[in-house]
A and B are shown apart, each in its own frame.
Chain A
Amino acid sequence: MKYLDEYRDADLTRKLLAELQKTITRPWTLMEVCGGQTHSIIKSGLDRMLPAEITLVHGPGCPVCVTPLEQVDKAIALAARPDVIFTSYGDMLRVPGSTHDLLAVKAAGGDVRIVYSPLDAVKIARDNPGKTVVFFAIGFETTAPANAMAVLQAKARGLTNFTVLVSHVTVPAAIAALMDSPNVQVDGFLAAGHVCTVMGFREYEPLVEKYKIPIVVTGFEPVDLLHGILKCVRQLETGTHTVENAYERSVSREGNQPAQAVIRKVFEMTDRAWRGIGVIPMSGYHLRQEFATFDAELRFPEVQAIETKESPLCISGLVLQGRKKPGECPAFGKECTPQSPLGATMVSSEGTCAAYYRYGRYSLPSPLGEGPGVRSDER
């Protein structure tokens, strides 16, 4: 496939790794803030091929994982209503709420439907005038233009039965919060290539100024990731800290301005709670006042008083901040597996714990209890 295969080339990968090995002289810790990048790194086995001096830490880059527990519980409550058709991206269906998940609601008879695009949810609303459609609008800035367009479409077509349960999060504030945290030790960031496709990378310039760390906009395929890592390491080795673009074919400094305009039209910035991390000021979107009729939380006010309960075993918050690796969690692979997840990071296929479990099995004994399992530190 064009624009994919070239960036999965084994030869180019090998040679970039060699260059990286030649360039690096000291240990560096890099964080990537995008679940898609985490997934790609581990699925391709790239993390086991990097020079030992590089520690790759996975940040809170999975919007499924950081969706606050309250929002998940609200979603579950809404989906259980007989007058609601609950629509969502597939990843959210198995995220554990306080007591169960959306899939369980579906199994009990709730009308829960996976959609590929938010426009599909609008269509469902149009086709089912007797029910109210709730669309679970989660995501980073990448998904906001699509979710916003769905609201505008519903408005343009005079649909009164289309609502959104919003839980958008934005990246720059999260990077700032992580850098402000005394517990997080990161030397450089790989910025999410598709978030930046929409937003550009101007917003990261104040961050490199303030925190004196390199931020490199990076794509998703192995060659793209190595390109981003190489640029980042070169900066670190030479003591520079700027915003660089290693995904030029898709990202420009200004980003996609029509998309940004529509985001601004429908959403405004707000404080958001990130599951496992806490409230980060001005780190998310909610609907502007004039679109209040599309807000599921206002349409169904009873969901606002929901009591939440996190699993005491789950340390996904620490994993999302890069402070712990999944293998360091006592429940990893035992009480907590993709089949029976305790936290969102094990559910979402982009979640760090899920990625490690599916592709890495770090430090796990062989499933039959005989012989060594496959270990991450064997290089």
Chain B
Amino acid sequence: MKDKPNLLGWTCPRPLQNYPTIVMGHGAGGRMMADLIEHLFAPAFDNQWLRQMGDSTAIDLSSIVHRPSFGQLAFTTDSFVVSPLFFPGGNIGELAVYGTVNDLAMRGAKPLYLSAGFILEEGLPMETLGNVVTAMAAACRKAGVKIATGDTKVVQRGHGDGLYINTSGLGVIPAGVDIGPANALPGDVVLASGTMGDHGIAIMSVREGLTFETEIKSDSAPLHGLVEAMMAAGQGGQRKGGLRPPLQNPIHCLRDATRGGLAAVLNELAGSSKVGIEFDERKVPIRPEVNAACEMLGFDPLSIANEGKLVAIMPEEMAEKILAAMRSHEYGKDAAIIGRVVAEHPGMVTAKTAIGGMRVVDVPAGELLPRIC
């Protein structure tokens, strides 16, 4: 794990300067931990809810739940154990925020509040932690979410791989929105929001010593803005201000294509909805460098993790409009229609190959092993 000196402009505040690395005391609940919170976490994440500093944070949702637009609360959790902590295009802090924001967004929810639990390994350089926390704070501002509560623990050296983060998230699903994995119907169209495989290959490139002509960066990004644009386009235009209940649900399924990649997501959706999915390999957007790296390492780009891409399934008549909205959005520029939902072979995903043949696209088996033979 490389320490990047001060790249996010974080300077170690006075009391913490006595400790260049995390020690067991920082998790013990006493003075040292209080200093860590007071001088690192609290200033970085500062907001009115966090300032309560209670055992739990009280949040007044009455103004939200009493609106006619309020449908349901969305609640999710995710843990982040990526190694290395910093990689081209991102870091564990950003992932911890965007990953949970995206889980909420995949149900059509507007993300509001996050919790942040840190498990620090004794010996983690304070500067590294400072950089991660600064990145998280920036990610929260970009995503428009607040970290309302948190926790810190320290584990002994050798037990933690540097740093693990857990974030849970609360969001609000508008009334009448029903986006879920079991909603796909035969005849629906399948879309991908952009190039597949970037994140996994960015990580792999650090591990395998690969370089690229154009550097492959992780695609780590918050997708709720994209989802909002998609939902609005499905109803025939952007709505300004508050959400009014949609007349019909334009989108059936959303899934972010994280571990296991496109192949895993399509199989999950096919399984949950009890439908078959057929797509065209040539229509899946993949960067040439990612393709090249996959050829070289023997990976299938369809099985590689993404951190800022989603798969959407929707009725055919919605597709063109929604696709246009996606392409106009920062995180959907390379969006494409890749296939359709069918009644045949429920639970199974097939793909038309480059030569016009057909193959079954299975759930990737376990940890990716670079293929030699």
Contact = CB atoms under 8 A, between A and B. Distances in A.
A90 to B, nearest CB: 3
B141 interface: no
Best-surrounded residue of B344, B347, B350, B366 (most CB of chain A within 10 A) = B347
A348 interface: yes
Interface in B191-243: 208
Interface string A161-189: 00000000000000000000000000000
B79 interface: no
B370 interface: yes
Contact of A90 (B295, B348, B372): B372
Contacts of A374: 345, 348, 350, 358, 360
A358 B360 contact: yes
Contacts of B348: 361, 366-367, 373-374
Interface in A24-74: 35-36, 42-46, 48-49, 62-64
Contacts of B354: 8, 10, 44, 222
B344 A371 contact: yes
A121 B350 CA distance: 39
A305 interface: no
B244 interface: no
A366 B357 contact: no
Contacts of B358: 45, 48, 374
A42 B295 contact: no
Contact of B369 (A90, A222, A357, A370): A90
Contacts of B357: 44-46, 48-49, 222
Nearest to B352: A45
Contacts of A208: none
B1 interface: no
A35 B346 contact: no
B274 interface: yes
Contacts of A139: 372-373
Contacts of A9: 355
Interface in B332-367: 344-348, 350, 353-360, 362, 365-367
A164 to B, nearest CB: 15
B160 to A, nearest CB: 16
B373 A62 contact: yes
B34 interface: no
Interface string A338-379: 110000000011100000011111000011101111100000
A81 interface: no
A339 B295 contact: no
Contact of B373 (A42, A89, A358): A89
B288 interface: yes
A4 interface: yes
B359 A359 contact: yes
A344 to B, nearest CB: 11
Nearest to A143: B372
Best-surrounded residue of A35, A114, A143, A367 (most CB of chain B within 10 A) = A367
Interface string A1-35: 10010001110011000000000000000000001
Contacts of A300: none
A46 B355 contact: yes
B345 A89 contact: no
B371 interface: yes
A372 B343 CA distance: 11
Contact of B347 (A46, A48, A367): A367
A13 B271 CA distance: 33
A130 B345 CA distance: 56
Contacts of B208: 116
Contact of A358 (B345, B362, B367): B362
B360 A36 contact: no
A361 B366 CA distance: 18
Given A89-B373, A116-B297, A357-B362, 4 more contacts: A1-B291, A90-B369, A91-B371, A222-B357
Nearest first, the 9 A-B pairs at minimum CB distance are A45-B357, A90-B369, A338-B365, A89-B372, A368-B347, A367-B347, A13-B355, A359-B359, A90-B370
Interface of A: 1, 4, 8-10, 13-14, 35-36, 42-46, 48-49, 62-64, 89-91, 93-94, 103, 114, 116, 139, 143, 222, 338-339, 348-350, 357-361, 366-368, 370-374
